[in-house]
Structures are given as C-alpha cells and as structure tokens.
Structure 1
C-alpha cells in the first residue's frame, strides 16, 4: 500500500483554542494560501510581464508595500524580490505563469507555499495585542492599507499586513515552523482582553 501525502496545516488543532478569545480579539488561520517567491528586475520586460500575469499595473517598488490584484497580492521583499500570494490559483499554476512571463529575461519564480502559513487577527484590541511584541509604529495613521512590513512579532519573523485603516484587521504571514509558537504567543497576549474592566 502506497503512502499518500495529505496537506496538513501547522495549526489544524488550534481552532478550538482560537474560539476561546474574547469578542474584542479574534484569531483564525487562513490555511493553504499559495505563495510564490518571485525574483525579477521591475524595469525589465520580464518584470513587467510578471506584473501583468498577476493582474497588476507594476510590481511594487517601494519598500514594505503590497499591491493587490484581482486574485493575488504582491508583497515587496527587496529591490528585486517579491512574495506573490493567492487563495484562488494553485501553486504550480502560479509558479508556471510567472516563469513563462519572465521568459528569457533575468529572474525566477519558486512555489514556496509549504514554507509559511497565514493568520488573521481582528477586533478592537488587535493592534494592542500586536503592540505587545512588535516594535513597529502600528498606529493607523502610519501603518495603513498598502503596507507590508517584515518584522519580528514576539520571537518570530513575520510579514505583517494591515487590512483596514482602523487598526482592527491584520494578516500575519509566518513560517510554518514558527506557527505554533506564534499562535501560542498571540493567544497569551490576548488573554488580558477577556477580563471585564
């Protein structure tokens, strides 16, 4: 009998723990988000073609930014490096589309979907929870929609993306090997907000 590989989320058994959080903070996992590392020169025809392939006008060139397409998000990781995410395209499909777009030009695309998982932190106290372990200025006047910061949260390296301008909705991308640590850290950091004042 052949072994069958089954995709498993690193946080598959955390749903019941996430459900214990108070109304002011909610935490969920967004499992199986496709992620492709893209390297290209944004001023090169291959970079422009890659942007077109994911439905955006151009690859983001400003540090710590994200550009959303119809079914993808393109996160700036460096002058010629991006993380392209999607919840509708398959990993091999997206990698192939980006490789074909780059063509003979300098660049690469690699499916790294299994490397990371995505958490969603929402609620009136979401920013307060993050502030306990993140040195960024998270005030909504500074850290707004369109930002995507590579930073430390607790002791885990993450990509932090604000999804609203009120400081109440964030996407957190973390390496799978740190996912359980980070989930435990966030659950602990949110504990005080279950206490009535």
Structure 2
C-alpha cells in the first residue's frame, strides 16, 4: 500500500488575481514551498566551517544575506541563519548538512511550513514599503544583501534586499500572517493605480 504525500496549499493561492492588478511599478509574487532550514551554530566553529563547505558559501555576518548560490543564507541572529533553497530539497540538504556537522555542536531544523516568501519588484517597492516599515531602505543604508528582521504594518517579517535601491526584495512572513501582509501591500499600492478595485 502506498501513501500519497499530503496536499500542499500556498497561503496566498487566492491572491494571484489581486497581485495581477497592481501598478506597473510594483509587482508582487509569492514563491511558495521553498525549502527553509533554521541553522543554529557558533560562527567560525568547526561545525560552521563544515556547513560552509557543504553550501559553498560563507555564512553571512550581522544583518546580511548571502544570495550568490542556489542556497541563500540569511542572518537571523548571532548564532542563527535561515537557509532558503529550492522546493522539495529539504530532506536531502538536511542530510548533507548533518552528515558534514557530524559530532560537532549545531542544529539544522526544517521550518519550511512556517513561512512563505513574497518577491516584490519595481521602482515603487521602496516607497510602498516605507508606508508600513520603519527601516530606511536607502541604498546607502540598505545595499544589496541587507537582511533585517522587522515589522511591516505590525507583521513580523524578514526583509532581504535583492537589487539596488530596494527595487527587488524578498519578504519572508509567517504563513498565518501572509494574507494580512498581502492585503496590506495591495491596499498600499492603490494610490499608485493598483489595488483590489
């Protein structure tokens, strides 16, 4: 007897039509089901070096993200990173990381179901985010690769700057708060010609 894998549902599956009506200078797209692993390890420890060897990147320092490879590493705290990888790669990546870490002290936990990722693009992105986020996203302060845990309209998010002048960012938001964040983004865009109308 074979057991089918449980059905997966995107928390923002019903928002694609609303996202399609946003103004030309602001595009929102959900990147559902990405693999997300929480890594807890002391920086510069043998375990951290083993992880870096597997990933082919250096774990980023405070408020930074490493975006150059297939697996993105986002700094969350002094000994905590979020590793973001393509969908359905979690089990294989966890296995490789745990094997490399061996008996050293570190933890790798699959938290893929906790959050979804919103990809925001366009010249209005920084201006719209400024309406609900206290961060200064000026390129001199928040260059490409900046990574912050903050609030957007009272919703906890991790914000990753992916292009100059914050014209492309990722917002990682808890799945249960994703519809609220989506509604806020659509509403904030209405004065620029987009929104639910």
TM-score interval for Structure 1 and Structure 2 normalised by the shorter chain: over 0.9
Residue by residue over 1:117-174, the C-alpha shift from the partner in whole angstroms, topping out at 9 and shown as x without a partner, is 0001111111011000101111122111111000000111001011111321111100
* Structure 2 unmatched ranges of 5 or more: none
Whole-angstrom CA distance in 2 between matches of 1:48 and 1:5: 35
Residue 36 of structure 1: aligned partner? 37
Equivalent residues in 2 for 1:1-197 (5 A)? 5-56=6-57, 58-60=58-60, 62-87=61-86, 90-194=89-193
Cα offset for 1:88?
A: 5.8
Determine helix, strand or coil for the equivalent of 1:5: coil
Tell me, yes or no, if the aligned pair for 1:54 and 1:69 is still in contact at 8 Å.
no
Determine helix, strand or coil for the equivalent of 1:6: coil
* Structure 1 unmatched ranges of 5 or more: none
Tell me, yes or no, if the aligned pair for 1:55 and 1:69 is still in contact at 8 Å.
no
Cα offset for 1:87?
A: 1.6
Cα offset for 1:41?
A: 1.6
Whole-angstrom CA distance in 2 between matches of 1:68 and 1:89: 19
Determine helix, strand or coil for the equivalent of 1:171: strand
Q: TM-score, normalised by structure 2?
A: 0.93
Whole-angstrom CA distance in 1 between matches of 2:79 and 2:5: 37
Whole-angstrom CA distance in 2 between matches of 1:116 and 1:85: 11
Tell me, yes or no, if the aligned pair for 1:141 and 1:165 is still in contact at 8 Å.
no
Whole-angstrom CA distance in 2 between matches of 1:102 and 1:69: 23
Cα offset for 1:70?
A: 2.2
Equivalent pairs counted in the alignment come to 193
Cα offset for 1:67?
A: 1.1
Runs of 4+ in 1 over 4 A off after TM superposition: none
